Each structure stands twice: as structure tokens, then as C-alpha cells.
Structure 1
Amino acid sequence: MKDCANHTGTRAVADCANCGKPLCADCIEDYEGEDSLCYDCIVERQLSDFKDKGDAERAERVSTEEGGTRRLGSIAFIVVASVLTALVLGAAGFILYAHFTRSSAAAGTPEQEMVWDRDDCLLSMENVREALTAYRGDKGAYPDSLTALEGSYLEETATCPVSGAQYVYRKTAAGYLLECPNPDVHGVASITAGPSDVPHYDDNQPSAYWDH
């Protein structure tokens, strides 16, 4: 059996059922009775579940006589979106707490801190993504810039929680593209999101951490 991908020199006892990364006993996470997964795959699964809930809510629309559709009351939509956001943040918070307590041997290492910072960025981008969805529901189109979200849809400027730099946003034919301005801080090549894509990262980068 290979060494654990997160703890050099520690023997792995299983592979992640999703990505195949070798894991030691401290790094194995359980998700709703499924096979053992690594921490990164758990977070991605949480974000994916949150997206599915959001898609189901947005599908509940009332057909108009002209054959178009209109969204149910904006206030109700925002309330439901806020509840779903609280649920996913609570679930993600529990995962972070469980991972910290069960993997104390790795806590404080530069590699582990980088992983946690990256997950904070992913969750922050998901909040921005939900705000963009709510804005489009109210205004009929996505905003020209993220500053339009401040106040009514976001309490503060949409920035990377680690660097404080504002997220890169641009409208596209498909809707928009949201990017972290400093993916290298998180040890990855890019972190992006879109109307139908939850925040995700491309880890094709030279960090030796991923070679462990």
C-alpha cells in the first residue's frame, strides 16, 4: 500500500472512492453512508448537492398565458436561497471541524493551511454565484459588474477571503465566468464558476504537495 497523499511517511489504508487518492486512517471521511472519500471530494460533493437543491428551487416557476415563465415572488426566492446557503455553510463547517479534529497531525502544516484556504475561497465563490442567480431573477439579466450585488445581494465586496483581491467577473454568451484572481495562493492553476458550474479548481500546477 502506498503512503498517504496528505501525510508523507504514513501508510495509506484505503483509496478515495472518488478520485483514488491514497489515504491514511486520519484522512478518511464518510459522507452519508457512502464509501470512504478524501476531504477534497467531500467538499466537492457538498457543493454539488447544494447546486442540485438550487436548481430544483429555480425550476419551480409559474407559466404565464403568453407561454413564458415568471419567477415566484422575489422575497420568497431570496428567503429560500438564504436558507439553502445557511444549510450548505453549516454542513461545510461541520466537515471542516471534523477534518480538523480527526487530522490533528497535519494541522498547521503549510500544505494543510493551503487546502483550508482554498476551500474558504470555494465557499465564498458559491455565495457570489447564488447572489448572481438572485440578481438575474429580479432584474432579468446578470449584472455588468459585481459591485451591483453589494448591499441588496451581498453584504460586502466579492473578494477572495485569503488575499482580499476582488473576484474576476465577466459576462459571456452563456451567462458569466467567475474566477479567483490569485489561484496560485491556493496552490492550483485556476478556480472558476459559472451559472451551471459550482466553484471548482484545476490543480495542474507544479506544487510538490500533489506529488506526495
Structure 2
Amino acid sequence: MHAIEMNIAIFGLTVILFVWSDMWSGTNYAAALDPIGEEMFEILFDSTDVAFKIAKYGEGFVDEIATFSANTNLTPAQRTAKIQGYLTDVRAHENDSRTMLTRLTTKSNNFVAAWLAVRPEGSKNVGQDLLDAEDLRIEFVANVGIQSRTWNTTVVDARMIESMLQMAVTMVDHPAYMQISLDRAVGLYTANSLHMRAFATKLTEWLDENEIDRDILDS
């Protein structure tokens, strides 16, 4: 959670600098930070929801496949339909993870745009303070990149799982070979669910420790 903690601290300091700049220059640049700050917290809350959802599905996938594989009465068409259902689920998880990636990237870009828009004219001191704080902007972007890697990993895992499931579909007439692909998909989902569970748990604990909940979005 170090990257998240740092970015909240950096954002708070940036707000102070922008407000100070507005006071000296008669501008209103600080207002541009409001939607960015709101999105920061929305991403935190939504990250826990999405990560827990993917983790729960992945944790149950091994039993789901075991039950599916044990049913030797299924026809090839029925096996195909069942696996297609799994494909629909994994694609939804990929889309959710990609959405989180997009939101993080947009937040980072908006933060950079807000910095570049500031052109303090009323005080050389304010201008120098913003210049000296440039490393804060750079660190903010770097920290967003750390968070993004969590979701990028899940996107990559989802693609690999999808590939294994698609391979299983081509083998529905040969259950033994179909099972090999399904087992590989189970292994990938299990590994990813551990990662997602750990991420969501740590994030939830951090939010609880700092007494941050969704009510902050209404303040």
C-alpha cells in the first residue's frame, strides 16, 4: 500500500500548492484537482470490489471444473456450452481489470495535465515552489504505474486462461486432452486468485486502519 499512501500524501500537498498559487495569481487551477481526488478514492473502493470478485471466482474454479469433469454423461455439445460459459466469465474479469487500468491511466494523465496547466504569474516564490515540487508529480505517476501492474497482470492471466479454455473447446470430443487444458486454466485462476485476494485484503485493511469509507465521496 506504500504507493497508494504516497500518492494520497502527494495529492494533498499538490492541493496546497495549487491553492497557494491561485491565491497569488488569481487563478482557479486547484478546482481541476477535485474530480481527480474523487476518482482516486473511487478507484480504491472499486479495486477492492473487483479484486474480491475475481478472487472468489478463481478460488471456486477448481471445484467447478472438478464437478464438470466428473460428469461423464455430458455430450460434446454440452461440454462446449459449459466451457463457453467459463469463457464468458473470464472475459468479464478481463474487461473489469482493463477498466481499472484505463481509470488509473486517465487519473495519471489528468494529474499531469493539471500540473502543466498551472502558470503562476503573481509570485515568483509560488512558481519556484511548484518547480521544486516537480518530483512529486513524477513520483505520483510512477506510483500509479505500480498500481497498474496489478491489473495488467490480471489482464494477462485472463488472456492465458481464455486461451486454455478455447483449447479445451477444441478437445471436447477427447475428454482426456480437454482435461489437460482445463487443469492449466485452473492453475492459472488459482494463482491469480491468490494475488487478487492478497491485494484486496491489504487494501481493505489499509482503508479500515485509516477509517476511509465511501462516505468520503459525499463530503
TM-score (norm. length: structure 2):
0.41
Q: Which structure carries more relative contact order (alpha carbon 8 Å, separation 6+)?
A: 2
Question: Looking at CA atoms only, which structure, 1 or 2, has the larger radius of gyration?
Answer: 2
TM-score (norm. length: structure 1):
0.42
* More helix per residue: 2
